[in-house]
Structure 1
Amino acid sequence: MPLIDVRQLTKEYVRTRPVEGRFGAVRTLFTRQQVRTTAVDHIDFSIEQGEVVGYLGPNGAGKSTTIKLLTGVLWPTSGTVEVAGPGGPIVPWRDRQRHARQVGVVFGQRTQLWWDLPLVESFRLVGAMYDVPPDRYRQNLARLRDLLDLDPFLQTPVRQLSLGQRMRGDLAAALLYDPPLLYLDEPTVGLDVLAKEAVRGFVEDANRSGRTTILLTTHDLADVERLCKRILLIDHGRVLYDGPVDGLVARYAPYQDVRIRLDGAAEPAGERWTLGGFTGEREADGRWRFRVRRDQPVHHLLVAVSDGWQVRDLAVEESNLESVVRELYRERRGE
């Protein structure tokens, strides 16, 4: 079986609100109204061992709720999750203790470290909680100290660490006991450029052997382009796309934008310009933007424009992951 197998996973939240009466809002035993909100809506996916998967979506899409279901923090309304374990499949919310030994979790806005203790003491406590043999603990800590450059602040209380230092400490704590599965929820949020690079390098190294499978949620698409070969795109609790990063760009943006600025007073009249089978639109800065399909040679457009017009400059812009995801979110919000 896959390392993670998710089938028809659904989570609804139920809240009550007062009913509007003749004299305003009334809340009694008999007048409260239940309101249901579906955060995760019958999603299916599976993740194989050794994958690094980006789990993307706008705020409120259901990402964090999914992570809480996968880690066993929440019970689902319906559906199931099975995680492969040494003694057979694990359902996270039914066997939390056995599942906890299988996973490492890092939340960008929270910490699993002890606030008042030096960082190294937090590591010792994590090792003791997970019964890590002393030799393996020393080997793992030595590797993580070198990889994440922890030595300058190992003896510093956690409360005195910067955000980037604390995040590196949390990453080390999550891998001290060699979990085969690592959940990273916004691990680079609020970090500077150098700290982000350290985190990305750590994730690459953790996955390089193929032993650590990683599910990464982030709003920083540079993380995804650097680390992930596959993405799951979610919105309104439903999976919109599940496949390779390049496949998303090819599917939703099978074109290039060619922007041309003409040199000279005489320009085509109007806001649209059609020539040689290509149609351009005038932009606010005076340039013309032509959207060219990837199977169309760009030089055909350049030849058509150059035949009678002086070109001052041009730029060919490939669609990237960020532009595609932005357009998808905009379209969904429009719907």
Structure 2
Amino acid sequence: MSDVSGNVIETEGLTRVFTGRPERGSRLRRTRHVAVDHLDLTVVAGESVGYIGANGAGKSTTIKMLVGILVPTSGSVRTVGLHPLKERRALARRVGVVFGQRSQLWWDLPVRESFSILAAIHGLSAADERARTAELVEMLEMGAYLGTPVRQLSLGQRMRAEVAAALLHRPELLVLDEPTIGLDVLSKQRLREFLVAQRREHGTTLLLTTHDMGDVERLCERVLVVDHGRLAFDGMLAGLARTVGARRELVLDLATPGPDLTDVPGTEHVRSESDGLRQRLAFDPQRTTAARVLAAVAERAEVVDLSIVEPDIEDVVREIYRATR
């Protein structure tokens, strides 16, 4: 098994430019869009890395070059020590990929049969296939729908099956492109818990792109922020929070209308709604917790419901540029 000083991903000057043809009869030149711009990137074996940015920042284009789907315009890339294009077949045996908007499962076949086909493609023995499938089915609670055609699954069920399919052959690197998009809170939580367990038990390296800061905070230790194809931030999650001062909002529904909660320790009152029945308090998770804020509010008013609003990825990227200029 190849190894490059423990690096699972290495890129140097990685660039991808898309060109478009002008309309027929037009004298305009071809359009030119730089999706990834001289990207230098290293991910060490066992890391869990969040690769974030606004729409169009170059995240998915980067991933497609890492796994050999797209050809770089210039620069170099190595994934698990292999050249993604020249050694794509060998790479497929060592990497698992989940695209949240695309499926690797067979739409009209039961989940179980999709797993059997993928196991054969990856060269798993019958015994390995049975053991690994049983392990994944138990951990992801898929037993009730193993015999169900993929097209009949809910989005949450399908995404669990997609992740299981990507991990069936025990890859060294798992790449997840927007895996929780559209999922409800419970489905997100199940998927996050499973991924944490997989990393703990198998040492799988994780590269995650997402628009959900909750995914980043619960799954990633290191964060890469990309904008217009260039790396804007590379550091630990705590460092990102310090750089942008990312705050959460605690949305509180009270039993009766009340005055603005402007003096709750560690918070800033954002606004009140419905004559004070609903109030929004912002807080820095590096300095306090939602539980402490709730306890302080409960001493003053009866809380009947609450929710936490995570910072938006686009806001985080904006704050990074504001802080580093």
From 68, 74, 77, give the equivalent of 1:78.
74
The aligned runs of 1:283-322 (5 Å cut-off) are: 322=311
Looking at structure 2, the residues matched to 81 and 5 of structure 1 have their Cα atoms a distance apart, in angstroms, of 6
From 154, 157, 165, give the equivalent of 1:173.
165
Looking at structure 2, the residues matched to 157 and 132 of structure 1 have their Cα atoms a distance apart, in angstroms, of 23
From 146, 152, 167, give the equivalent of 1:160.
152
What percentage of residue pairs aligned between the two structures are identical? 45
- Identify the residue that residue 193 of structure 1 maps to in structure 2: 185
The aligned runs of 1:57-68 (5 Å cut-off) are: 57-68=53-64
Q: Secondary structure, in 3 states, of the residue corresponding to 1:111?
A: coil
Deviations 1:16-68 (A, max 9, x none): 224xxxxxxx626xx35111100001111111111110010010000010110
The aligned runs of 1:1-335 (5 Å cut-off) are: 1=5, 2-18=7-23, 27=25, 31-84=27-80, 89-253=81-245, 261=262, 322=311, 326-329=315-318
Aligned residue-pair number: 278
Could you say if the C-alpha distance between residues 64 and 13 of structure 1 is closer, same or farther in structure 2, counting changes exceeding 3 Å?
same
For 2:128, the aligned partner's letter is R
CA RMSD of aligned residues (A): 3.3
Larger radius of gyration: 1
8 Å CA contact 1:50, 1:210 repeated in 2: no
- Identify the residue that residue 270 of structure 1 maps to in structure 2: none
8 Å CA contact 2:244, 2:319 repeated in 1: no
Q: Deviation of residue 192 (structure 1)?
A: 0.9
Could you say if the C-alpha distance between residues 79 and 155 of structure 1 is closer, same or farther in structure 2, counting changes exceeding 3 Å?
same
Q: Deviation of residue 135 (structure 1)?
A: 1.7
Could you say if the C-alpha distance between residues 252 and 160 of structure 1 is closer, same or farther in structure 2, counting changes exceeding 3 Å?
closer
For 1:235, the aligned partner's letter is D
For 1:38, the aligned partner's letter is V
Q: TM-score, with normalisation over the residues of structure 2? A: 0.77
Could you say if the C-alpha distance between residues 158 and 282 of structure 1 is closer, same or farther in structure 2, counting changes exceeding 3 Å?
closer
Looking at structure 2, the residues matched to 170 and 76 of structure 1 have their Cα atoms a distance apart, in angstroms, of 27
Looking at structure 2, the residues matched to 160 and 282 of structure 1 have their Cα atoms a distance apart, in angstroms, of 45
